[in-house]
Structure 1
Amino acid sequence: MIRFADETTRPQVREIWKTVFGDPDEEVELYFRHKYRDENTLIYMESEKVVASLQMLPYLFTFCGMEIPVIYLSGVSTLPEYRKRGYVRQLLIRSFEEAARRDVPLILLVPQEEWLLKFYARYGFAQTFDTGTEELISLQVLLERYPGDLHMAFKMFNSLFRQEDMTVQKSFDDFRAIVEDATLCGFPPKRNLLGMARIIDAEKLLSLFARRYGDKTFSITVEDELLQENHVLFRIADEKIQKECPGVESSLTTDIRELAQLLLGYHTSEKEAPFNTLFPEKHPQMHFMLE
């Protein structure tokens, strides 16, 4: 049975985290204090026992010149003795339904191991973020620049990323958690993270794209084996989008994975024509995620 966590199941979720990920107690305590919320935690229960769980952390994401809500999946895990029973699949699909209910058009995650790229691809995720080659700003240097003034440090941090398109944004509360984690870990160097995206609402994202790039005119059929509402022909023209246009033949066909890459501008210059001219290349960024 899948449901949301509450105060009675929270200790079990925490114990799953410790068992599966093996993080030090101090880091687990920091995560559950700053990021964990019962109402954002889906759990799978057998009888009275929590055997699998995930967290749906809310963030903002700059997309086509606007800030949109996204969900960042964290702590996707199953107790070892309950694996290979399809519990994570059910939790993921439920998270898609919950994202749609909350009007969140995009889900992001960071796979901790390479094999997870193929695992999450089964559920419509695609790699849309590359591992960074350059170090990001040092939080230690930032704090030293504004001693005792965390708000000013955040203001400078925020100014570096807020105007960047296709970037996960942070609130002051996010920043405070990031700083506490960095302090706990000795301020390790940080780079952009390898990450994946899953489109929940293709119509919403294509509408924002059409509004941003009013000179683009094309029709595209999207294939999505899990979310039928995305399995549709769209027509983009004059800054607007039409869905299931009668009498319109599709000029392009793509699946939901490639659509995520196209809309986020992930290596689109390497795509075949006309994708490489219709979808501008960007440099999606995801970083400082308490990874």
Structure 2
Amino acid sequence: MDKKDSVLKLWRECFDDTDQYVDMFFSEVYRDEDALVLEEEGRIVSSMMLQRYTMNFHGVTSSVSYVCGAATAKSLRGHGYMRRLMGHALRESYRRGDILCTLIPAGEWLYHYYGHMGFSPVFYMDKERYTSAHKFRSTGVYSRYYDLSGVEAYGFFNRIMESRPCAVQHTRRQYDEILMDNSADAGAVIALADSHGSPVAMAFAVPDADEVVVKDVLAVDGDSRAAVLAEVLREFAGCPMTVYGYYDAVRDNDNCVVRGMARVVNVEKCLSVIAGRYTDMKLSIRVNDAEIDENNGVYTLADGKCMRNDEYGGELDYDIDVEVFTSIIFGNDVTRRLLDFPAERPFISLMLD
């Protein structure tokens, strides 16, 4: 049995995904080079996908990895196999040149589990709930836009995604995979065009039990956003709707909920980006990382550069482990003000989870 077949067999054993979704994932998304496995006595006992993405981090396009499909054979759980495989994934992410490893835990208890490996819950979203009778008000004139696989549709999608600071981005191929994923979930991607026929709003909606969930909504303004959400309610008539909205620190409120976790895998690269953006910053920081030895050390930021200086004997601004470091780097506006540090809250969506 080859690698792909072994990962597929373990996936089917561990997850309750539909045959349509599994067939789509392993025919269109799966890549051997992204599959990490742990073997015992010639058998794959644990596996995961370490997928490649980018993020616009402080104005710089940086590579990040995304963990999905983390699975261990049911009869072999509790022996630390996933812990070992995750350690390998973090080191592989570092080797690739990523600044960050990301994931969306499948259950609440996993936030605690991944926290032991340096992951921090830094991805948030606005969770909006509407009844089936909700009235969305809009004043513009819009029409349905159907050419979702065309160049213009992806251009609109990519433009809105890139306008979001510190957001995980999707290539054209990944956008196409999102469309296939949505279809496999019996969902609908609903888009609207303006009077010139150009796309101005797009919502990724899937049915879930007795409601419809909008996994992300992209729009040029509030009016077109309201219009496309009204169209979702018409498409899924009689269903209440939950919208996973873009996290906006300016309108941070009680609807803000955790969406996923991240872990810095290359401290020096991460701090170098920040130093280059905030050239007046002066900082001395020691980071401790139990998984990636290369990250252990003292870093000084000055004159727009980050220098590794393990012989540094001066006063430290921070002496922290990688989980706290990640929390500070990707904190919200409260973190920014209290610590006087250019924290930036990241956003993640449409990850085929």
Fold similarity call, TM over 0.5: yes
Please tell me whether the aligned partners of residues 36 and 48 of structure 2 are also in contact (alpha carbons under 8 angstroms): yes
AA partner of residue 124 (structure 1): G
Unaligned runs of 5+ in 2: 130-141, 189-205, 207-213, 216-243, 246-257
Deviations 1:168-196 (A, max 9, x none): 00011111111122123223211257111
1:175 partner SS: helix
C-alpha separation between the residues in 2 aligned to 1:228 and 1:197?
Answer: 18
Cα deviation, residue 226, structure 1: 2.4
Length-normalised TM-score, structure 1? 0.88
Deviations 1:26-49 (A, max 9, x none): 101111122211111111122232
C-alpha separation between the residues in 1 aligned to 2:278 and 2:272?
Answer: 10
Structure 1 residues 235 and 27: alpha-carbon distance in aligned structure 2, compared to 1, 3 A threshold: same
C-alpha separation between the residues in 2 aligned to 1:132 and 1:199?
Answer: 24
Q: Which has the larger radius of gyration?
A: 2
Bigger strand share: 2
Is 1:232 matched up with 2:226? no
Name the counterpart of 1:85.
Answer: 79
1:22 partner SS: coil
AA partner of residue 67 (structure 1): T
Q: How does 1:44-63 map to 2 (within 5 A)?
A: 44-63=38-57
Is 1:278 matched up with 2:341? yes
Unaligned runs of 5+ in 1: 1-6, 136-141
AA partner of residue 180 (structure 1): M
Deviations 1:80-99 (A, max 9, x none): 10101111111111112212
Cα deviation, residue 253, structure 1: 2.1
Question: What is the percent sequence identity of the aligned residues?
Answer: 28
Is 1:219 matched up with 2:284? yes
The counterpart of 2:33, out of the listed 35, 39, 61, is: 39
Length-normalised TM-score, structure 2? 0.73
1:194 partner SS: strand
Please tell me whether the aligned partners of residues 35 and 57 of structure 1 are also in contact (alpha carbons under 8 angstroms): no
The counterpart of 1:258, out of the listed 312, 317, 324, is: 324
AA partner of residue 6 (structure 2): Q
C-alpha separation between the residues in 2 aligned to 1:126 and 1:175?
Answer: 27
2:314 partner SS: coil
Name the counterpart of 1:65.
Answer: 59
Cα deviation, residue 148, structure 1: 6.2
Structure 1 residues 148 and 21: alpha-carbon distance in aligned structure 2, compared to 1, 3 A threshold: closer
Name the counterpart of 2:249.
Answer: none
Cα deviation, residue 57, structure 1: 0.4
